[in-house]
Amino acid sequence: MLIVMHHKALDKQIKAVMDAVERMGLTAKPIPGSERTAIGVLGNKGYVDDTNIRGLPGIKEIIHVSKPYKLVSRDFHPRATIIKVGRHEIGEGKRPIVIAGPCAVESEEQILKTAAAVKNSGADMLRGGAFKPRTGPHTFQGLKEQGLKLLALAKKETGLPIVTEVMSTENVELVGEYADILQVGARNMQNFDLLTELGRIHKPILLKRGMSATVEEFLAAAEYIYAGGNHQIVLCERGIRTFETATRNSLDLSVIPLIKELTHLPVIVDPSHATGRRSLVPPMAKAALVVGANGIMVEVHPEPDKALSDGPQSLTIPGFEKLMDEVRKLDTFLGY
Ligand code: PEP
Ligand code: MN
């Protein structure tokens, strides 16, 4: 439940409402805003009977929130959250970030070469999977801890912050030692034990949308991390499953402006996994920026034909360089 106070409500009226909420055994969370003060009510399992609150002075409106997410909603937190990673900032009003790199870390040569190239072209962060969630068990599963060490080497050489996936609760600590942003892959979006564990750490999380997840389920997954105490969450739209098989997934771009209405968290787009085809990545990356994404994440490989995973959707180094020239023009056009 959300209690919206009148613009001119007195501090003592706000306090009286909060006390009344606490007397009901619930938690009252003040949400100051530039246009209104609201009080979020937390701790209820179902509908809250507001009989004892409704008549208190200073209240403008009581909104019963039936959504499975509250803390990440705009209702509870009107001001946009900005995630800081080193000197980079991700979120509303900031220049969209570009995360680039291979699907998987394959070798020292591959990751160092890619890192140097994407840095040179203007990428802000390096991606690369060390723990890979593959559909079948007979394919390359990632270099695991050795992959993390190679990412650390690439970071040392280029200064690029690292984005890499964590697949299980037992590896949260290990991956957290190397990653600047820990990625939760689409297949793990509803791994609630993992989300709960990530709520306990103090590092940014990149939460990818499950391939069959509704927006509500996506935001409810973010709520797990947020409610646990970790408020540094970046959402990532990476395409969903539809009847269409011509592309790997269907990029659901309309959720970008929608998610920005519903939540204060930043949202980025991964056009690589969304389309599965190299030729479609640049147009959809640019489209993502136009609809207001706070960044893009793109797969790049020095030799996509030899990639151990996701070669067909990986940009070549010159392909990424060209995309970045266009991204820079678009950033200027968008006013960044
Ligand atoms: C990835 O980004 O490496 C990845 C596996 O993507 P997704 O979880 O979106 O399939
Ligand atoms: Mn991939």
Task: Give the number of whichever ligand sits closest to the CA of residue 237.
Answer: 1
Report the amino acid identity of residue 265. Answer: L
CB-based contacts of 34, cutoff 8 Å, min separation 6: 78, 79
Q: Does 36 have pLDDT greater than 80?
A: no
pLDDT tier for residue 32 given thresholds of 50, 70 and 90: confident
CB of 238 shorter than 6 A to ligand 1? yes
Give the atom of ligand 1 at the shortest distance from the alpha carbon of 208. Answer: 9
pLDDT tier for residue 314 given thresholds of 50, 70 and 90: very high
Task: Give the number of whichever ligand sits closest to the CA of residue 187.
Answer: 1
Among protein residues, the one whose CA lies closest to atom 3 of ligand 1: 103
Task: Give the number of whichever ligand sits closest to the CA of residue 276.
Answer: 2
Write out pLDDT tens, residues 126-156. 999 999 999 999 999 999 999 999 999 999 9
- Rounded to two decimals, the pTM is 0.92
CB-based contacts of 55, cutoff 8 Å, min separation 6: none
Give the atom of ligand 1 at the shortest distance from the alpha carbon of 236. Answer: 9
How far lies 258's CA from each of 74, 76, 217, 262, in Å?
11, 16, 14, 6
User: What pLDDT shows up at residue 46?
Assistant: 82
Among protein residues, the one whose CA lies closest to atom 9 of ligand 1: 186
CA–centroid distance, residue 157 to ligand 2 (Å): 23
pLDDT mean over 257-286:
98
**Structural domains of the chain ordered from first start:** 2-63 (3.30.70.1140), 83-334 (3.20.20.70)
